[in-house]
Chains A and B, each alone.
Chain A
């Protein structure tokens, strides 16, 4: 069955450092992968999408890589700030008609 894992349930880093979150998947061939941010008590908010034929995507301090051979995506936040503290979810999308499948999320805490 399809399975998505995110590197850890929680990750603590110091302000200013680069946070790296991992999303691994099995038994799935996604056409694209997305990363979402979720704050407590709120719905997830879209951050970045990367397609299967793209290796890397950047948006401001965010960078996403997608390795379909390793079946892995890395999500980086450079120059992290306490305001980046949230839960980050990866989601896989496939062919037309398939559902989005979400990972369990990683709770990131950026310490001042």
Chain B
């Protein structure tokens, strides 16, 4: 069965500092990988996705992620964060051929001035 692990429940960072949110997945088959962002009291918005092709994926708001098959990881990065990036970030996986998303437990990014 698929699973997604987000080891960091909360990541505090200062404004303009770089950040990495970690995501590891477990699956015996090929997967698609996603990062969603949830701003306070809002729904989930797709940040970026890996379906195939280049392992470095660029998303909205300056975020990027790298698919590493050997390490089964899909870490999210941003070189310089803003206060407005404060949100909860969810990594998710989906088996190719199915449409069921499996989510990690989320990482709360707290950006302070």
Partners in one complex: no
Residues in B lying within 8 Å of A, measured CB to CB: none
Residues in A lying within 8 Å of B, measured CB to CB: none
